[in-house]
A = this chain, B = another copy of it.
Amino acid sequence: MYDVAIVGAGPAGLSAALNLKLYEKDVIWFGDRGLSAKVEKSEQIANYPGAGLISGEGLNRRFADHIREMDLELTEKKVTNILGTGENYQLLAENDLYEARTLLLAIGAVTSKGFPGETKMLGRGVSYCATCDGFLYRGKTIAVYCGDPRYELEVLYLADQAEKVYLYTPYKDSTLTKDPASGNIERLPRPIGRVEGDMRVSGIVLTDGTEVPVDGLFCLRDAVAPAVLLPGLTLDGPHIAVDHGMKTNLPGCFAAGDCTGQPYQIAKAAGEGNIAAHSIVEFLGK
């Protein structure tokens, strides 16, 4: 049983992890070693105090240096589901279960609303985790929405399992369809418009109306909608509702960073991660 589980390795998660380390809390910190993709992609950042004019890549490198210097450990697993028992939180991350007394959601903003039909079909053919559910589609036909190049390894894993993969990437320069190991990957000519199905996913419909029959759809994105991740969480529009201390409506559950609302800013996220860590220390002390 950990004291704290932090989900997310952007500036909010990092800021909290630094503070909880100083307070010698037993922390499990989930996130990608590449840290925030949103920071990484920023061409120039001028308003993170003390960093001067810096590229997103450069600032992420400083964050990574800080992580090494403070000997923080990142667990590179994707948390796909969390259950609050009232006493503690159980986190499902790629088929492994973790328990923690408190939880910090630093999961970023969900910029996409998801595809129409996606939430309804979650667990009935729609999945957010290749490693968790890939084996269910052995010999079947699936569609994959790959939101970021860092998920391409997961796509290859899915191509290894499924008979056929229809792929859509919102970015260019994907190397996936050139890879000889991925001969069964076919690129969709148009974005995915919606998910179809009744009891289970029967297909997807592209934005131009083309129907593509599939047995499942994997949505590989940076952020999972908070309500999907942790049922019972009170939202404020698409954001997690928090008070001044970054407390959510669930006891022991805190949130920080873009997931709590605008402005979507690095300094704001770092500030909220700091506040959340202090609130968590206070909560654990009780």
Residues of A within 8 A of B (CB): 11, 14-15, 18-19, 22, 46-53, 59, 62-63, 65-66, 69-70, 244, 261-263, 265, 267-275, 278
Contacts and interface: CB of A to CB of B under 8 A. Distances in A.
A18 B51 CA distance: 11
Contacts of A51: 50, 62, 66
Contacts of A272: 271
A47 B22 contact: yes
Identical copies in the complex? 2
A47 B15 contact: yes
Nearest to A260: B244
6 contacts: A15-B267, A52-B66, A262-B278, A263-B274, A265-B274, A267-B267
A272 B246 CA distance: 13
Contact of A49 (B47, B262, B270, B278): B270
Nearest to A11: B49
A208 B57 CA distance: 59
A268 B275 contact: yes
Contacts of A15: 47, 49, 267
A19 B48 contact: no
A62 B268 CA distance: 19
B14 A49 contact: yes
Nearest to A10: B49
Nearest to A65: B52
A250 B63 CA distance: 38
Contacts of A59: 50
Contact of A18 (B11, B49, B271, B273): B49
